[in-house]
Amino acid sequence: MDSVSQELSERKKQILKAIIDAHIAGGEPVGSKYLVESKQIACSSATIRNEMAELEAMGYLEQPHASAGRVPSERGYRFYVDSLIEHYAMTAREISQINELLQQKMAELDQILLTASKVASNLTNYTGFAVRPKAQKVSVRRFDAVYLDERTLILVLVLSNDQVKTKTLRADGEAPLTQTVTDQLAAALNEHLHDLCANEITLPIMIALEESMGSRHDVVSPVIKAIYEVLNELEDSSLKVSGVDRLLQYPEFSSPDKMKQLLGAIEKPDDLLSIVSAPDEITEHRPNVIIGSESTVQVMDHSALVYIPIIKDGKNLGTIGVLGPSRMDYAKVLATLEEISGNISSILEDNDHRPGEKRLTDGSNNGG
């Protein structure tokens, strides 16, 4: 019927957009009268009513009850996000705010993600979250062992994703540790386990490692165990949430039941993680929007999730996003997330290829 879409006439689109905009802003069902008064649509309320009835029949609108205005359905929001949304022009102030907030604490990945989610939450006034994805392929790029005393050594692991982890290991008997043994251990680890990830450490390799430690092969096994632990810990993806209290301001979540659901989802975040982490390989640098029951997880009733991956050198370093009611201000949220994500990426690149600085600079602290 129309040039662009087979489904909706231009006027229907206008009406749908006006309804969704109004509902996003006010949170209440919007009626035909309001639309004519707001001057957005140039025809009478009766005409609008007819169009609205059709839009409802097509599934884009819903009516809470017979004499209420219309409310967008999930399908309506989806269409809005996909086709109707206008690009939100961030103010210079907002952009500079992002810059300012982000550039302070860019020390370490977890820090970055957490800060970014807080910024997102602040600017959009929804709840922000950050996810560090499980890194299945992480390996140890470099080992070091610090001799502390006869009974203690510290294992330092520099991982392939630039994180540094340490483990304190204690020897509780028999032969004391020495500086020599410690050095020998580090060298052996570097030789045998270099760039291997957890499931590539096989028995033959472990045996070779023990042999190269000669008489002190006794230290190998607990060290291997510690390394395993570190690598496995990284496979747990972690979720940080900020600004939960912001959700309370939306009447959608003011009922104790809804709130309890949501808090539960945040506390036991398996579901949330599975949604957000799913497109593991997809490194497309665009935000993703999930509205209500579009996820397989039914907890997200009446709410929506917008998230964007943080990508560096084609690797997905994590995901940040916001969680809010399905009537969230998608235009603003999308723009904000894109801006933040782009900002982080450029800072990360910067950090790596910065050319002529004068001295040692603080690159990243460990995950403390």
Which residues sit at the interface with DNA, rule CB under 7 A? Answer: 11, 29-34, 43-47, 49-50, 52-53, 56, 63-70
H-run or E-run covering 29? none
Q: How far is the CB of 23 from DNA (least distance, A)?
A: 11
Picked from DNA, its own copies, none, the partner binding residue 133 (CB below 5 to 8 A depending on kind) is: none
Instruction: Pick between residue 5 and residue 180 the one whose CB is nearest to DNA.
Output: 5
* Interior angle at CA 211, CA 209 and CA 217, nearest 5: 85
Distances (CA, A) of 6 to 1, 47, 109: 6, 21, 46
**Alpha carbons 296 and 287: distance in angstroms, whole number:** 19
Among DNA, its own copies, none, the one that 67 touches (CB under a kind-dependent 5 to 8 A) is: DNA
In the complex, least distance from residue 2 CB atom to DNA, rounded to whole angstroms: 13
CB of 68 vs its own copies, minimal distance in Å: 22
Find the part of the chain contacting its own copies (CB under 8 A) among 45-53, 79-87, 144-152, 288-296: 144-152
Q: Shortest gap between Cβ of 325 and DNA (angstroms)?
A: 17
87 φ/ψ sector (left φ>0, alpha ψ -120 to 50, else beta): beta
331 binds its own copies (CB under 8 A): no
Q: Are 138 and 109 in contact (CB under 8 A)?
A: no
174 binds its own copies per the rule CB under 8 A: yes
Find the part of the chain contacting its own copies (CB under 8 A) among 4-12, 17-25, 145-153, 272-280.
145-153
DSSP 243: -
Q: Is 230 in the site for its own copies (CB under 8 A)?
A: yes
Beta bridge partners of 323: 127, 305
CA nearest to 129, candidates 292, 232, 271: 271
Secondary structure class of 82 (helix, strand, coil):
helix
Q: Which of 158, 205, 299, 347 binds its own copies (CB under 8 A)?
A: 158
Structure tokens at 204: 């033959």
Q: d(Cα 346, Cα 185) in Å, to the nearest integer?
A: 39
Residues that bind its own copies (CB under 8 A): 142, 144, 146, 148, 152-154, 156, 158, 162-174, 218-219, 221-223, 225-226, 229-230, 233, 242-245, 248-249, 254, 256, 259-260, 263-264, 267, 354-368
